[in-house]
Structure 1
């Protein structure tokens, strides 16, 4: 097979340089320096950001998937480089580009002239990077969206990267959800412990209670509840790697009599009569149309008076939209987000009385900042563990997500509810105890 790196234009030397083409779609001028493998350049030489297009494959990625997907493909492959920016933490570059990029959509005739000028052969799509998931229509071989088989595949794609990699990025807590910072000077570990304790206090955990933690990850909440509150806990995760690591951590801490981390689908849990249910970072994966059955299932696991805490990423409005192409292909296949109002409505419609909710989006921005710093500090070891392409995906994803939380494009909501008894009693005190 002929390498896409060695392709040339179909018949003659291109009549438009790449630099000229970039200038034509940015009528207000380039806010960054751009250079290309054809020797062309554009934009101010002293710009703080320099994008370098290294080869023809990178150009084909950009032309065949305009937008974030094409740029991500070229960036992950190393065909598009942000010079002078650490790939583990490209946050400053993303802020600058988002603040200053202004594209003009060319007319059909102008687009055709540019295409011919650059060479029509560049519109043959190269093979995507190996880190990319299949498009949604091709995932049908794994079952319909949010079937158990397909959900397992999506979780495997994201979470079964490497436990060692996650240890270096997430830190000792091995917690891959939003932390709750008691102050801006708190460490990431302090903030994660504070988050788990906030969940425990909202659920009013006490010794001897039974807790179900769905989507438990590496078992951070499982171990915290058992260790700090003397609670009997079952945690469940679809990631085999997480379950193996989490159960070993339970054994290391001597919590086998209280805690268990299972590998499986939350829908396979047969036990009932739990005093509390925590769902920390799972709702993003289950599909919005499955919310009613999800919350109905969790309510059915509770005793009367039992509490449920749902902690998940949300949109700033209540419209349902798929995640962008980059997130869907490289980070969370089949992930879906909507607003906190939709979540609260579905909980109420399934006989869960909502007692409290709060938005922790600034906390997630700080959490992502800490993870990016960890990735940058451990870059060489992370690359040795998972490869440069995967490490770059994570740097881009986490830095971009930090920016999205800061700009209120996405949020993080905790919603606390209760299954009231037959007389409507909640067991809640007159004022929240977890705020004291």
Structure 2
């Protein structure tokens, strides 16, 4: 694992501070890169060394000049050729190092100390333009993560916290959402802190010396908010509602339009058939009465896919021109819905007519009304509520029809797609 901190430098171009494993156990290598050859004056360590430290200066031509800094030495003067790179190999707990350097051009840079693996050796380094010095600043540092739009913070992983760390979560207005103190992990320890907080716009992590942030997990809705959405968050939440987003799709609007039209036409056709058939089955006994009554139950008891397959097979016996005009076209949607919804409407109307007293119809006949007049002026008004029930039942059954539509009419976008097949299509692509 390797991390580095970089910052553009007007004079030196770029100064990099990198730490990475040096190959020895508990030893790490700190590397300073200069964009141009730089004359080194002094190396100063923040604390006496318990072990010797190896320092390697690499010139522009690639020549390496190696020097060993003895233990119990806090600094070491440097005299040698101009260096392009400086590598310092030291144990993980050696603290920090200053490098005094000289350049013919003015130096002005600010860069953050790098961390690598389980070795966060450095903190914050500042290049002083007057004396040319890289020096560490505060022992504890605050690392901030800011997002333009609020996110859901799931987890933060910290490394090598020899002292407790503090994590503060802030919202877009700067108010504190959550504050937590993270216990120390010990040398080379790993601590995973689970938050699962929503509406986080900034995370401030106060790290002790030599600690590092290994990972920060968060989730974002994926939608970049415009200026008006940030100014009016409540209106933006309403506009970003999944239902509003769904209505914005043309294929969804088309399926809703086709569904409403097809269900309404199916309801009208079902009532147009259910009223006379229900009246005949409730008032008269005629040959094939029981057969017709049983046939009406077939669409109700058959599986929906079998109903659609039966319609598809039935239209194989019709002329080719009729097949192409109906099958997998909008008429197939209405016909598939009608095949099932009509049976429910007939059953409902038959029950309504059976509840109407026959004597009222007979009295109308004795008063000179014809049978048609008695039906329209006496029976039909009495069956008004039954017609409303049958129409509602047929409309609802047509709305929820899926199997026959999928087999007989298909689920083609912007053509034969209705709401029931829209759910199937959206679910198949994982957009539901």
TM-score under structure 1 length normalisation? 0.19
The one of the two structures with greater contact order (alpha-carbon pairs below 8 A, sep at least 6) is 1
Greater Rg over alpha carbons, structure: 2
Structure with higher strand content: 2
